[in-house]
Structure 1
């Protein structure tokens, strides 16, 4: 199994652990993502987005509410203001051997390494919107992610990620902390 890291930098030779707000501040990590969740990172680094997936534990009411108008099992929503950046950004996918990492969050597909790691491969992702569509997910654009955030957090959806919400239009600072997984 391979794990991935996405960056707008094309020539990273080594990934050195650094502090991250999502984990215990007493140690530093290198982040990676599994293949299933890699599409969550086909975005410019600072782009706010909400990803949600169907699951067996969600209510029938929420299945209808969030998925009745799509055949996709995964929906990714970002803001209209990011359209140009989505089309202009060149993103690179770095691949790693999974043996160098430990599972951090199964629902989000996050893995961490507490030591420096070297990629075994790097390649450009290509047109981000096209690559997202190739994954069979539904990509949506909206003026603001704030209403969707509230709906997801007050639903039975338990497979979701909310990434870079601090950059979302109108997001209250207290509500912009990283969120994923079981609510």
Structure 2
């Protein structure tokens, strides 16, 4: 299995374990993501986004609320003020062999390694909107992520991720 790390820096030769900025109890680690969850990171690093997918625990009412207007099983919502930055950003996809990594969070697709990791390859992703299109996700653009986040947190959705929300529009 292959794992990935996305960065706006094209010159990383090796990934050295670092402490988590908010989880001081964690040892220093290298973070990677699996292929299924990679599209969650086809964005500039600081771009706030809400990602949600269908699951067996989703009520019929919530399925209608969140998915009645789409055939996609995964939706990623971003704020409209980030669109030009998304269009202008080139990301670099670093590819790792999964040896030396362990699963940290299955729902999010996060893997960690306590050891320095050397990428097998690095590839530029120059058109992030095209990357998302090829990943078969629905991209939703909204002026404000807060109402969607609130709805998701109070719903039966159990397969969601809220990324870099500290950078979202303030209420």
Q: TM-score range by the shorter chain?
A: over 0.9
- Within a 5 Å distance, the mapping from 1:89-108 to structure 2 comes to 89-108=89-108
- Does 2:72 match 1:72? yes
TM-score w.r.t. the length of structure 2 is: 0.97
Larger RCO (CA under 8 A, 6+ residues apart): 2
Residues 121-160 of structure 1: per-residue CA shift (max 9 Å, x gap): 0001120011101111000111111111100000000000
TM-score w.r.t. the length of structure 1 is: 0.91
Once the two structures are TM-superposed, the CA of residue 58 in structure 1 deviates from its matched residue by 0.7
Distance of 1:84 and 1:37 partners within structure 2: 23
Runs of 4+ in structure 1 off by over 3 angstroms are 21-24
Once the two structures are TM-superposed, the CA of residue 21 in structure 1 deviates from its matched residue by 4.1
Secondary structure of 2:51 counterpart: strand
Equivalent residue, structure 2, for 1:11: 11
Pair 1:118–1:129, CA change in 2 (3 A): same
- Within a 5 Å distance, the mapping from 1:57-136 to structure 2 comes to 57-136=57-136
Once the two structures are TM-superposed, the CA of residue 20 in structure 1 deviates from its matched residue by 1.1
Mind listing any 5+ residue stretches in structure 2 that lack a counterpart?
none
Pair 1:26–1:67, CA change in 2 (3 A): closer
Query: Is the 8 Å Cα contact of residues 19 and 25 (structure 1) preserved in structure 2?
Result: no
Pair 1:101–1:24, CA change in 2 (3 A): farther
Alignment coverage as a number of residue pairs: 171
Equivalent residue, structure 2, for 1:20: 20
CA RMSD of aligned residues (A): 1.1
Distance of 1:156 and 1:21 partners within structure 2: 30
Residues 57-106 of structure 1: per-residue CA shift (max 9 Å, x gap): 11011000000000000000000010110000010000001012000000
